[in-house]
Amino acid sequence: MRLQQLDRRVRLLEVALAGRAVHNPLLILVEFPVPRRDLRAHEHLVIDRFRDTGSTVWGCERIASLGDDGRSCEPGGCIEALLERFHQTCHWRTVSGRCRMCAGTPVAGRDTGSEAKR
């Protein structure tokens, strides 16, 4: 009787977890050219997650006031202003004319720098 109850519970757990995607995306921090300074008493560092491709999340540190926990885009989305900032100096954009991180976003088709796409 106990084995049947255990088997039933395991099946219920499997059904409950079947629709959930369990993954740990890789977080890559991008450093924007911002001068470092000591934090004031009412400040702390946050990570703004500005591009989420599912398996990879791109973020950058920012000094923020207490209570600001950082910004985060939706899965598969982006925070356009921060992605645009990154895109301006993207190595792949200047080498191949195509930035893979920006693919599928409104930023991908923009020519943001002085170099035209090849």
Q: Please report, to the nearest 10 degrees, the dihedral formed by the alpha carbons of residues 11, 14, 19, 22 taken in order.
A: 180
**In this structure, is residue 32 part of a structural domain?**
yes
**In this structure, is residue 59 part of a structural domain?**
yes
pLDDT in tens, the chain (118 residues): 567 777 777 777 776 666 655 567 788 888 776 677 888 999 998 999 999 988 888 899 889 999 999 999 998 899 999 998 888 877 777 776 667 778 788 887 765 444 443 3
Q: b/e for 54-77, b at 16 or more Cβ within 10 A?
A: eeebbbbbeebeeeeebbebeeee
What's the rounded Cα separation, in Å, for the pair 11 and 20? Answer: 15
| Number of domains composing the chain | 1
**In this structure, is residue 63 part of a structural domain?**
yes
**In this structure, is residue 19 part of a structural domain?**
no
**In this structure, is residue 34 part of a structural domain?**
yes
Q: What's residue 115's pLDDT?
A: 43
**In this structure, is residue 2 part of a structural domain?**
no
**In this structure, is residue 30 part of a structural domain?**
yes
- Domain hosting residue 52, numbered range: 24-108
Name the token pair of 51. 């591009």
Q: What's residue 16's pLDDT?
A: 67
**In this structure, is residue 115 part of a structural domain?**
no
Partners of 61 in the β-ladder: 47
